[in-house]
Structure formats: C-alpha cells, structure tokens
C-alpha cells in the first residue's frame, strides 16, 4: 500500500541529491526511503529496499510530513542528567586543584575514593569510583607525577627574572661586549653513576616489568651547557664538582661560542659557579638564576631526556664505562640540534 506525501519541499530526485550530500548514514537511508515513496513505491517495497520495517518507514514519513528534511535526522539525546551541577563541578575542580588538607580530609593526595566520599558528604550525590574518574577527566584533570619544589622557592622572584631577563642580560655583560652578538647559554651538572635510574616503558596491563638497576656507588659528573638558538652545546666529564672542574667547563664553552660573539651563561648559585677562583674567559659572562629555581634552567630537561633515552636501565662495572656512556649520550644529543632547540628553547630567554 502506498503512503501519501503532501509536502512539496523536494522532488524524489531532489531528495536523492540531499541523501548523496548527507554525512549521516542513517538519515541518508531515511531520505532515500521517502524518495522511493514519492516515486510511487509501496510502503513494503520502499521499506525493504532501505532496510527497515514497514511501520518504521510510516513513522519516518510522518516525521517528514511534520518537520520536513530535519525530521529525518535523529533528535539530540538528553541522556542521563549529570550527577553534579555546573556550580558544584566548578567547586570540585577548585578543591582538587588546591589539594587536600591532612587535618581536614585525612589524606595528603586525592584519590578517586577520597573524592567519592567528599562528593557524597558535600553535595549529597553518590557516584561510583569510576564515575569520579570520568568526572575528573571531564574537568581537565589527569593523573601525573608532580614536579619537586624546594620549600624556599620564591615564585614571584622567578616571574620577575623571566620578565626582566633582557635588562639583567644588559647588566651582566661587560663593557667590552658592546656591539658584539649575544648568545644565551644555560649550564648545569648531572651526576651519572652505578646507582642508575629507571624510565617508563610500555607493558601489558596488570604487569610490572623488571629493569636492571645497579646498587654500587661509582659515579662521574657531566658538566653540560647548551645554546638553544644555535642548537649546540659543550660538555666535560669530571670525577667531582669543584672550581677546577668548572674552569675546565668554562674553557670548553668558550671554544664553542661563535667567533666574535659573547656568551651570556645562565646558571644556578652553586659555590663553584661564583667562586673568586673562577677563570672566566673573555667571551663569557655569567648570569645567576634566582635561588632554588631549577625549573628555569632547561638543562634540567636535557638531563631528563638523556636519562630516559640513553642513561637508564644500564649497568656499568667500571668508571671508564660510565665516562663512555656519558660521552656517547652527550654526542648523540649534539648530533641532533633540533632536539636541543625543542627541549631548551624558552620564549622569555631573549638577550634583547
């Protein structure tokens, strides 16, 4: 039996063109079914050709009659109402970001089960622990390892250092630097030894693979410096950290500075960095970082990269093997200037 369609919005051919442009496969099938009805096909024939029941086709034809082409698309589904209101979600987000108080909440870090209890007590809403995890992801939170921070870190001093970097560069440079190109370098030291480090690896869910890690106590110190703009660096490997070792590193950096340029070397306030016994080459000027501010030194990220990709999961039986590993790791970094630029570039570290 045929179904009568009184709407004149589209001809059967026009509906087929609309179906061809439609990105929704279900809606396109419904549009083609209506086109068949307009062509005079019976309800049974049109339904069979478009893969639906006769009664279903009848319902979609009624929707088309009432709403036109829009009626052949699925209506938005409201779904289950959210457990928390927008205001409650915002309050929860502030609570998670601020972290728990041991005296009040009894924990020093939030777990889903802790937040489950807080939500129940504060908002009178009962959520499954998995639902708490989905809610946290919806609010933009992810489970990450926090960065260490010294208790005496002065965040305001760090922000001032970044904002006034160019002015501090001008103050740190000697009068002989006038007119010379300025290169910004960053310097730091890393201890590499038999204690070793472990890095993240891919493993099957529910397993925890083992990795080699030595427990002996021989080590060396890798003095490293990088110039992000040029994608280069300079390093020395020393048995200990002291003024003499720093002088060796300064001499090595001096050889790597561009001809006619002067290097502004940004470094922390270690005693061997500001000793009066330092022998400072003519093409290097020093700029100390604020106290307890390792996050301002991108060489810290260089060390992290080298440990995760070159210096972890290793066992070294001799001091010479440690030196060889440090040399190979640093040379692999220097051979990849784009990597140095990617890791060490800081937008605020501009000489002018």
Long-range contact set of residues 234-238: C-beta below 8 Å, sequence gap at least 24: 235/330, 237/323, 237/326, 237/327
The residues near 249 (Cβ < 8 Å, ≥ 6 apart) are: 187, 223, 225, 234, 235, 236, 238
Residue 145 has a pLDDT of 77
Residue 183 has a pLDDT of 96
On whether the CB atoms of residues 140 and 156 are closer than 8 A, the answer is no
Residue 146 has a pLDDT of 77
Domain ranges of the chain: 12-72, 86-138, 155-344
pTM of the shown model: 0.66
Got the DSSP string for 273-316?
Answer: GS-TT----TTEEEEEPPTT-GGG-THHHHHHHHIIIIISS---
Q: Which two tokens stand for residue 338?
A: 């784009």
Residue 2 has a pLDDT of 56
Q: Of 136, 154, 56, 64, give the one whose Cα is nearest residue 95.
A: 136
pLDDT tens track for 186-219: 999 999 988 877 777 777 878 888 877 787 889 9
Q: What CATH superfamily classification does 155-344 receive?
A: Ribonuclease H-like superfamily/Ribonuclease H (3.30.420.10)
On whether the CB atoms of residues 135 and 126 are closer than 8 A, the answer is no
Give pLDDT tens digits along the chain (352 positions): 556 788 888 998 999 999 999 999 999 999 999 999 888 888 888 889 999 998 998 999 999 999 999 999 988 877 676 789 999 999 999 999 999 999 989 999 999 999 999 999 999 999 999 999 999 999 999 988 777 777 888 899 999 999 999 999 999 999 888 889 999 999 999 999 888 777 777 778 788 888 777 878 899 999 999 999 999 999 999 999 999 999 999 999 999 999 999 999 999 999 999 999 999 999 999 999 999 999 999 999 999 999 999 998 888 899 999 999 999 999 999 999 999 999 999 999 998 7
């Amino acid at each position: 039996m045929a179904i009568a369609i009184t709407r004149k919005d589209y001809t059967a051919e026009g509906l087929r063109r609309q179906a061809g442009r439609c990105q929704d496969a279900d809606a396109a099938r419904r549009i083609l079914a209506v086109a068949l009805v307009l062509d005079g096909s019976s309800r049974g024939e049109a339904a069979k050709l478009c893969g639906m029941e006769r009664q279903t086709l009848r319902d979609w034809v009624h929707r088309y009659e009432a709403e036109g082409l829009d009626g052949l698309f699925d209506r938005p589904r409201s779904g289950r109402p959210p457990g928390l209101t927008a205001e409650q979600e915002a309050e929860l987000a502030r609570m998670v970001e601020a972290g728990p108080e041991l005296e009040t909440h009894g924990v020093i870090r939030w777990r889903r089960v802790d937040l489950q209890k807080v939500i129940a007590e504060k908002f009178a809403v009962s959520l499954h622990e998995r639902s708490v995890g989905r809610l946290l992801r919806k609010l933009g939170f992810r489970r990450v390892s926090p960065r260490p921070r010294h208790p005496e870190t002065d965040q305001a001093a760090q922000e001032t250092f970044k904002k006034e970097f160019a002015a501090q560069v001008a103050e740190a440079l000697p009068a002989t630097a006038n007119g010379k190109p300025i290169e910004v370098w960053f310097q730091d030291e890393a201890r590499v030894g038999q204690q070793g480090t472990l890095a993240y690896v891919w493993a099957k869910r529910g397993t925890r693979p083992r990795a080699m890690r030595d427990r002996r106590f021989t080590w060396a110190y890798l003095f490293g410096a990088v110039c992000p703009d040029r994608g280069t660096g300079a390093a020395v490997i020393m048995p200990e950290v002291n003024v003499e070792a720093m002088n060796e590193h300064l001499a090595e950096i001096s050889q790597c500075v561009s001809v006619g340029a002067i290097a502004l070397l940004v470094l922390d306030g270690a005693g061997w960095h500001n000793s009066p016994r330092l022998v400072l080459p003519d093409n290097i000027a020093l700029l100390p970082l604020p106290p307890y501010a390792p996050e301002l030194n991108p060489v810290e990220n260089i060390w992290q990269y080298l440990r995760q990709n070159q210096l972890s999961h290793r066992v070294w039986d001799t001091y010479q093997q440690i030196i060889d590993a440090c040399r190979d790791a640093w040379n692999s970094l220097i051979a990849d200037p784009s990597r140095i630029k990617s890791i060490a570039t800081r937008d605020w570290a501009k000489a002018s």
